Amino acid sequence: MAALLLGGAITISVVDDDRSERITRGVWLGALVTTAPLVALSAHLARKASGYKGVKAVRRLGWFAWGLAASDGALLWALSFADFPRSPVLTIGAGALGAASLLPLALDALSAGRSLRIRRFVSRVSPGPTGLTVRF
């Protein structure tokens, strides 16, 4: 999804079509605004189930970048309704920030998921009278 956000921002900045720009910017902004919370929700559920605390600094970095990207994207989307020139650098920057916001959150989700799998595996393996017992 990070690649789609960055690629979409680059495409929006390259294509100069005023009739469809509001729609494409709105779809891009909707994708940006929904993906980061979904990734963070999956990480939260995995952390909650495993008892893993995660790395708060990484999550904060992701949320900070997401806030900047969403603000930039919302501003550019609002400006698409006015006859105001929009800078391609700001559009590509919003895409880069959107991609950069997903990567720390996805890293947190990956580490939380791994700790959950390890915890479930360890809870199934227990010492028995004849050695290790694996429960299914």
At 91, list the tokens.
């559009």
User: Is residue 123 over pLDDT 60?
Assistant: no
Per residue in 23-54, is it b (16+ CB within 10 Å) or e — as a string?
ebbeebbebbeebbeebbebbbebbeebebeb
Q: Percent of the chain having pLDDT more than 90?
A: 24
Q: Do the Cβ atoms of 70 and 102 come closer than 8 Å?
A: no
Check residue 110 and give its pLDDT. 83
34 vs 130: CA distance, rounded Å: 51
- 60 sits in which H/E element: helix 56-79
User: Is residue 62 over pLDDT 80?
Assistant: yes
Q: Quick one: which of 68, 71, 67, 85 has its CA closest to 21?
A: 85
Higher pLDDT, 132 or 56: 56
Q: Which tens digits make up the pLDDT trace of 79-88?
A: 888 877 778 8
Work out the average pLDDT over 118-136.
56
Check residue 108 and give its pLDDT. 84
Check residue 58 and give its pLDDT. 87
Q: Lowest mean pLDDT: which of 5-14, 16-25, 69-78?
A: 16-25
Check residue 63 and give its pLDDT. 92
Which residue matches tokens 């990207």? 69
pLDDT band with cut points at 50, 70 and 90 for residue 116 = low
pLDDT band with cut points at 50, 70 and 90 for residue 74 = very high
